């Protein structure tokens, strides 16, 4: 730590606006991804622009602005970089991912509360009982609103996993239908 501090002070005096410096690097990163993604696309001529012109030209412009920002950060003083939170983003975004990976197979009944609980962990002051109760209530309200009232095709119950329970029922139904049909004929 003590060794790093003089070096940091020196860096600090060189980069007078750490926020702009980081922002510039960020832009250059985005531009690089865009440029690589559009690399193999044809440029075309001006009278018939190819599909590659727009991505590459815009990527170059983004990079140019990134460089301007970095140069600026050496010249004019600006803000320091804000501290990045870790717990909030990780837990909230995990909650979203958990929802994405469970909704198809387990339905809203499982994915909803799971998402709620994982997200709720992002706040340290959360109390377990409170969270479980409100997760249940929120899921029921959403089910009522989106499924019953609005008839959205969102999976609600975990049919795909407990499908075997529906199996005999469906088979019985099909058999009865066939029996009735044959009788009618």
Partner 1 sequence: MDLFDNLALGMSVALTFKNLALCFLGCLIGTLIGVLPGVGPIATITMLLPITFGIEPIGALIMLAGIYYGAQYGGSTTAILVNIPGEATSVVTTLDGHQMAKQGRAGVALGIAAIGSFIAGCVATLVIAALAAPMTRMALLFGPADYFSLMVLGLMFAVVLARGSVVKAIAVILVGILLSTVGTDLESGEERLTFGWSEIADGIDVAVIAMGLFGFAEILRNLESSQTRDVVKARIGNLLPNRQDFRQSAKPIARGTFLGGLLGLLPGNGAVLGPFASYTLEKKLAQDPSRFGKGAIEGVAGPEAANNAGAQTAFIPLLTLGIPPNAVMALMVGAMTIHGIIPGPQIMAKQPNLFWGMIASMWIGNLMLLVINLPLIGLWVRFLKVPYRLMFPSIVMLCCIGIYSVNNSPFDVVMTAGFGLFGYAIVKFGFEPAPLLLGFVLGKLMEEKLRQALVISRGSFKTFLDRPLSASLLAVSLVLVVIAILPSIRKRREVAFQGAD
**Interface residues for partner 1 in 95-154 (CB under 8 A)?**
95-97, 99-101, 103-104, 108, 111-112, 115-117, 119-120, 122-123, 125-126, 130-131, 134-135, 138-139, 142, 146, 150-154
Residue 61 beta carbon to partner 1: minimum distance, rounded to whole angstroms: 5
Closest CA to 55 of 76, 40, 67: 40
Backbone dihedral region for residue 71 (phi beyond 0: left; psi -120 to 50: alpha; all else: beta): alpha
Q: Are 136 and 117 in contact (CB under 8 A)?
A: no
Q: Are 114 and 68 in contact (CB under 8 A)?
A: no
The only residue of 1, 82, 129, 164 in contact with partner 1, by rule CB under 8 A = 82
What gap in Å lies between CA 158 and CA 167, rounded to an integer?
14
Q: Are 133 and 103 in contact (CB under 8 A)?
A: no
Residue 150 beta carbon to partner 1: minimum distance, rounded to whole angstroms: 5
Is residue 84 within the footprint of partner 1 (CB under 8 A)? yes
Residue 120 beta carbon to partner 1: minimum distance, rounded to whole angstroms: 4
Part in contact with partner 1 (CB under 8 A); list of ranges 2-10, 57-65, 157-165, 173-181: 57-65
| Three-state secondary structure readout of 146-176 | HHHHCCCCCCCCCCCCCHHHHHHHHHHHHHH
Q: 85 vs 161, which CB is nearer to partner 1?
A: 85
Q: 49 vs 176, which CB is nearer to partner 1?
A: 49
Residue 70 beta carbon to partner 1: minimum distance, rounded to whole angstroms: 11
Q: How many residues bind partner 1 (CB under 8 A)?
A: 77
Site for partner 1 in 151-180 (CB under 8 A): 151-154
Closest CA to 155 of 104, 115, 98: 104
Site for partner 1 in 33-52 (CB under 8 A): 34, 37-38, 41-42, 45-52
């Amino acid at each position: 730590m003590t060794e790093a501090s003089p070096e940091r002070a020196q860096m600090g005096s060189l980069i007078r606006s750490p926020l702009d410096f980081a922002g510039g690097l960020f832009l250059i990163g985005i531009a690089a991804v865009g440029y690589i993604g559009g690399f193999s696309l044809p440029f075309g001529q001006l009278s018939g622009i190819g599909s590659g012109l727009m991505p590459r030209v815009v990527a170059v412009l983004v990079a140019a602005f990134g460089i301007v920002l970095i140069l600026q950060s050496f010249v004019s003083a600006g803000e320091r970089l804000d501290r990045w939170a870790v717990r909030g983003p990780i837990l909230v975004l995990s909650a979203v991912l958990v929802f994405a990976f469970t909704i198809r197979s387990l339905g809203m009944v499982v994915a909803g509360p799971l998402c709620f609980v994982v997200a709720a962990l992002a706040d340290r002051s959360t109390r377990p009982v409170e969270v479980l109760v409100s997760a249940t209530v929120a899921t029921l309200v959403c089910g009522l609103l989106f499924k019953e009232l609005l008839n959205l095709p969102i999976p609600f119950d975990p049919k795909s996993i407990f499908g075997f329970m529906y199996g005999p029922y469906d088979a019985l139904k099909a058999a009865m239908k066939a029996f009735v049909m044959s009788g009618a004929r």
